[in-house]
Structure 1
Amino acid sequence: MLYIFDLGNVIVDIDFNRVLGVWSDLGRVPLALLQKRFTMEESFHQHERGEIDDEQFAAKLCQQLGLALSFKQFTAGWQAIFVGVRPGVITLMNQLRQRGDRVVVLSNTNQLHCDFWRTEYPEVQQAADKIYLSQEMGMRKPEMRIYQQLIYEEGFKPEQAIFFDDNADNIEGARRLGINAVHVTDASVIPDYIASRL
C-alpha cells in the first residue's frame, strides 16, 4: 500500500496567523488590517509551482498587504508559520514503513519553507521514503497531474494509495483520480484511521 501524507497540519502543525503577527509587529501595521487584506492570490500558486522565486513572491505579497519589509523581515514572518511536528504521525509513518508499506510526502510548498522545515524537522525526511514538493514538480495540489505524476513514479494504482490532507479541495482532487483520500480535520484523524486498518 502507498501512503501519501501532506505536510502542513498533517505532519507538522502550522498557523498562518503567526506569520501575520510577526509582519504586523515588524511592519507596524495592525494585525486586523493584515488579516482583512490577506488573500491567497495567483502569486501563491506561482510560488508553490516554482514559477516565481522567493524575492518576487515577497515583493508581491508585501505590495498586496501594504507592508514595507526587508526580505529578511519577510522571511522571519514567513517561517513563523511552523508550530511543531506531530510526533504521533512520525511514529505511524515509521511503523507503516517497517511493515512494508511505502510512505511518501506530497506538499504544496516553496523554497523558503523547505529550507526551514528540512533543518528544523529532520525526522520528517527520515520517516518518508520520498518527498514530493510542488515547487520541484512545477505543479500543485489539487491539480490532477500532480497526483498522476506521483502515482506513476511510485508504480502503484490509484486504488492502492491512501492520501491524508487537511485541505478539502486537495482531497477532492485525489478522489477524482481514484485515490482513497482522508480529510484530516484534527490530530486524531490519522491515528484513528490507521488503527482501524492495522
Structure 2
Amino acid sequence: MIKTIIFDFGNVFINLDLDGHMQHALKSYEIDAFSKEMIAFNSFYEQGLITTDEFLEFYTENFPKLSTDKLIDIWNFMLKDFPVQRLDFLKQLKLDSKYKLILLSNTNELHINWIKKHILFYETFKNYFDAFYLSHEIHLRKPNQDIFKHVLSEHKLKANECFFIDDNTDNIDTAKDLGLNVWNIDPKTEDIVDLFSIKKTYFD
C-alpha cells in the first residue's frame, strides 16, 4: 500500500528544455562538449559544495568574454513554464490527505532564484509538501543512494510503501534498487496530473 509519494521537480512540475539548454550552452561557450572540470563544478554546485559566487567565478575565468549576467542566463536557459493544472493536481492531493507528499530535487541556488522570480506561486507550491528537499541545501544528490536513504530515514518510511516519480532513468534505477515503487515519467508524452490513471494499479 502506497503511503508516500516522492516527486522530482524538473520535468514533473516545471518544464525543462534539457536538449535546448545543452545546444545553447555549447554555442554560447564556443565549445564542442563540456569538459570533465565543468561537469564536476556543475555537480559540486548542485550539491551546495561551492557557493554561487565560486561557481560563477569558475565560469568567468574559463569564459572571460561572457558577462556574469550572460553566464546566469545560459545556466537558467533550461527552465521553462510551470503549467497551473499541475499545481491544482498537487493542491487536491494535499486536500485529500491520503499520502505524505515529498519533493526530492537536484537543483541549485541560481535555478531556485529564477523560479522564485518567475513562478509566482512557488511558495504556495512548496507549502503543499510535507517535506521539500533540494540537493544544494542537503548536500546530497540523485542518483546516489545516500539521498534516498536520507529521506527514508528522516521520515521513517518503508521503501515498498513509497512511490517515486522522476524523468531521469538513473535516478529511477537507484530508487528501484532500494525497493521503492517508481514511475519513469516521459515529459514528452506523460503528465503528472494523470498519475492515478497511468499508474492506477499502484493506488487501487
Q: TM-score, normalised on structure 2? A: 0.80
Matches of 1:120 and 1:194, distance apart in 2: 29
Corresponding residue number in structure 1 for 2:47:
49
Give the Å deviation of 1:164.
0.7
Cα gap change, 1:193 to 1:19, in 2 (>3 Å): same
Matches of 2:159 and 2:73, distance apart in 1: 39
Q: TM-score, normalised on structure 1? A: 0.83
Corresponding residue number in structure 1 for 2:158:
157
Q: 2:34 aligns with which of 21, 26, 38?
A: 38
Give the Å deviation of 1:38.
3.0
- Residue 92 (structure 1) aligned with residue 89 (structure 2): yes
1:1-198 aligned within 5 A = 1-16=3-18, 17-18=20-21, 21=24, 30=27, 33-34=30-31, 36-38=32-34, 41-61=39-59, 66=63, 68-100=65-97, 101-121=99-119, 122=122, 123-186=124-187, 188-195=190-197, 196=200, 197=203
Conserved? CA contact 2:60–2:68, under 8 Å: no
Gaps of 5+ in 2: none
Conserved? CA contact 2:159–2:178, under 8 Å: yes
How many aligned residue pairs are there?
190
Matches of 1:131 and 1:97, distance apart in 2: 14
Cα gap change, 1:83 to 1:15, in 2 (>3 Å): same
Q: Name the aligned partner's letter for residue 192 of structure 1.
A: D
SS of residue paired to 1:38: coil
Conserved? CA contact 1:90–1:127, under 8 Å: no
* Worse overlay, 4-13 or 147-156: 147-156
